[in-house]
Amino acid sequence: MVFHNGIVVLPDRVLENAFVECAGGRIRRIGRGRPPRGGELVDARGGYITPGFVDIHVHGGDGADFMDGDPAAVRTACRAHSRHGTTTIFPTTTTGAPARITAMLRACAEVKQAGSTADGARIEGVHFYGPYFAPDKVGCHPAEGRRDPDAREYRRHFATGVIRIATCAAELPGAEAFYRAARRLGCLVTCGHSNATWAEMDRAFRAGMRHVDHFWCAMSSVASLRQRCGTPMQASMEQFVLARPEMSTEVIADGHHLSSELLEFAWRQLGPRRLCLVTDANRALDQPPGRYRFGCAEDGEWIESDGKVGFVPGGGALASSVVGLDTMVRNMARLTPAPLADVVRMASLTPAERAGIAAETGSLEKGKRADLLVLDRRLRVRRVFIGGAEFAG
């Protein structure tokens, strides 16, 4: 299979008049000029040939939430995100009772083991996100499902072997033990939904934390820490991430969570190797405007979607996105000066590196899985290939 007649997007540059040759579900080589003969030709029609996107923070789509705890719901959400260019996905938990989280992990493990291209984006692992949030930073997640880290609980979840990303608010009692346990398992260890101080972040860093969820959303600020700690004013998660070169973070570039100035600031200050694009999308993705449950369909919190973003009814607070990674990529390219290679990297190789799967996917390189997209010149998804097989949608 040879992808040709397009612009190939590599992690650090683009190649005009280039092709990508694949065989056996792997990338064989990248070249320029006339494509080799003898293979099936995939015509990019002058558009872009890019790696498939990698989403490390996503809750659902097309009417389904991963917390529904049902393999059919998992498949529905994975297929929805594949239509938007995601070829590798990390289903993300919300807050909820231990039984809800257990059901979610089992459902994701079942779909992961099946490994069918027809199921959409490949599950590389689960992002264990809720329930260990700070009480004042729960956001749209069900508050009654929030709790402090419970070693017996998270060790049982870790024992499933399906968790690859693990989040906890740094200021909670038991957070450092949680971080150390997750780090021993090779997880990307993150801090999210937190009102942590610099000192608390530093202790978390020493315990293995290296990433912060959705920058500027449900996280501490100098102003929020003034309310919590008084004076002198304290440095927040933002300053800690910017100051520590080992730290990475992510942005929701849906055009509603963050302004173009904040998106540009994040790219300029952190660079494409430390900044990921994520959707944080909920079940309202690819659904009409209306009311939806965030989390499990039975008892999740109600949110509203206007077709552009989710928000909490009444107060107007934002509540997750309702668009795919293709929208995030288009917005970063349109709203910031970031070159296309940087933008695509933030949606593919950088999250793959942070999640520890970059040897297999995330960029167009010889030997990696043939996870490829064909985009038109407006960066709209035209064709999706997962492991060399075309996803039919």
The DSSP string of 196-241 is: --HHHHHHHHHTT--EESSTTSSB--HHHHHHHH-SS----HHHHH
Share the mean pLDDT of the chain: 97
CATH topology of domain 53-359: TIM Barrel (3.20.20)
- What confidence score (pLDDT) does residue 202 get? 98
Query: What is the tens place of the pLDDT at every residue in 135-174?
Result: 999 999 999 999 999 999 999 999 999 999 999 999 999 9
Per-residue pLDDT, averaged over 182-197, amounts to: 98
Which DSSP string do the residues of 329-346 spell out, in sequence order?
HHHHHHHS---HHHHHHH
Q: What is the pLDDT of residues 201-255, one digit of tens each?
A: 999 999 999 999 999 999 999 999 999 999 999 999 999 999 999 999 999 999 9
**Coil, helix or strand for 79?**
helix
DSSP for 240-277 reads HHHH-TT-EEEE--SSSSS-HHHHHHHHHHH-TTTEEE
Q: Are 194 and 231 in contact (CB under 8 A)?
A: no
What's residue 200's pLDDT? 98
Which pLDDT score, from 0 to 100, does residue 281 have? 98
Intervals of CATH 3.20.20.140 along the chain: 53-359
Tell me what pLDDT residue 39 has.
85
Q: What pLDDT is recorded for position 296?
A: 96
**Could you write out the DSSP letters of every residue in 136-190?**
GG-TTS-GGG-----HHHHHHHHTTS-EEEEE--TTSTTHHHHHHHHHHTTPEEE
Structure confidence at residue 41 (pLDDT): 96
* Tokens read off for 69: 């705890």
Do residues 342 and 350 lie in contact, with contact meaning Cβ atoms separated by under 8 Å? no
* Its pTM surpasses 0.85: yes
Is the pLDDT confidence value at 356 over 80? yes
Q: Which ranges in the chain are annotated with CATH 2.30.40.10? A: 1-52+362-393
* pLDDT (mean) for 58-75: 98
Does residue 347 have a pLDDT over 80? yes
**What is the Rg, in whole angstroms, of the alpha carbon atoms belonging to the chain?**
20
Which structure tokens are listed for 198? 């610099």
- Tokens (6 digits) for 122: 């490949």
CB 145: neighbour CB atoms within 10 A?
24
- What pLDDT is stored for residue 393 in this prediction? 82
Task: Please give the pLDDT value at position 38.
Answer: 84
330/373 Cα distance (integer angstroms): 14
How are the residues of the chain apportioned to helix, strand and coil, as percentages rounded to the nearest 5?
A: 30, 25, 45
Rounded to an integer, the average pLDDT of 117-132 is 97
Q: What is the pLDDT of residue 381?
A: 98
Give 1-52+362-393's CATH code, choosing from 3.30.43.10, 3.20.80.10, 2.30.40.10, 1.10.287.3510: 2.30.40.10
9 membership: H or E segment, kind and range: strand 2-9
